[in-house]
Amino acid sequence: MTDYLALAQQIVQDIVNENSNVEAEAIIIEDTETTIRVDGGEVEQLSQSGSKGLGIRVIDGGKVGYSYTSSFDDSAIKQTIQSALELAQIATPDDNRTLPELQEIPDEDLEIFDPEFTSVSTEDKIALAKAVEKHTLEADERMFHAAANYGDNVTHVYLANSKGFANSFSRTTTFSYVFATARDDDLQDSAQGIGLQVSPFFNEIDPKKIGEEAAYKGTMTLGGKPVATQKATVVLDPFVMAQVLGALAFAMRADSLQRGRSFLIGQKGSE
């Protein structure tokens, strides 16, 4: 198994050995992910994938060059180093572009990695998704259909630079959600709801709570009627608020403004 931190350190050392006037940084990111979809008690979709990449940054007199590769053979790494060096030569210099000085990093658990996750089998993940679907349908007799999903991502990051820094961290993300449909024959109405949980720790995902949330949201609007146009206080569900914030964040991105894709263009000063 490749020691990616040692590899990042070696790449940095090779760069500064041949280019004593530059600062260098190498980052390696390794990802694996799983996606599962369950419908009608059966696995409808299961996919597992992985990826890795190497990024190299060099700073030469305030001029920055960056290059990336997903191939880790010697020739690809050498070409990536050369590309970063060449790009630095045509970049605009800035005296503020430099690597930070080495400093002590607090040794504390950020609780972003599940050390027990390696013992979680694919069967365990499928069972969780099936349990989400089951609890959704059992939460209320008006629940008509539920499609449950499970996903996870494991990321390992390795970083080294010419200032002497070399360290790594890992992160796990696990989540499950269900789209559910409720139907009330007496009201002749149907509605949809979603239940969702996200956690770094697999054992914190609670299928029952996800199912109950989806059933509650799916049934609460059955028989609902339009309201008259008015000014009123609105309480937004956290999931809805996240979507609103996401739309605002997209509108405020520099590339959205530069490409004319933001609804905020021309709105400065308006209320």
Predicted confidence (pLDDT) per residue in 93-140, tens digit: 999 999 999 998 888 889 999 999 999 999 999 999 999 999 999 999
Does the pLDDT at position 238 exceed 90?
no
8 A C-beta contact, residue 42 and residue 182: no
pTM of the model: 0.85
CA gap 248, 191 in Å, rounded: 27
pLDDT given for residue 267 in this prediction: 86
Of 25-39, 97-111, 165-179, where does mean pLDDT reach its minimum?
A: 97-111
pLDDT class of 2 with cuts at 50, 70, 90 = confident
pLDDT class of 66 with cuts at 50, 70, 90 = very high
Greatest alpha-carbon span in the chain: 79
Q: What is the CA radius of gyration of the chain?
A: 25
pLDDT given for residue 224 in this prediction: 86
Tell me what percent of the residues of the chain surpass a pLDDT of 70: 100
Does the pLDDT at position 197 exceed 90?
yes
Q: What is the mean pLDDT of the chain?
A: 94
Q: What is the number of helices (H) and of strands (E) in the chain?
A: 6, 6
Query: What average pLDDT does the segment 207-220 reach?
Result: 95
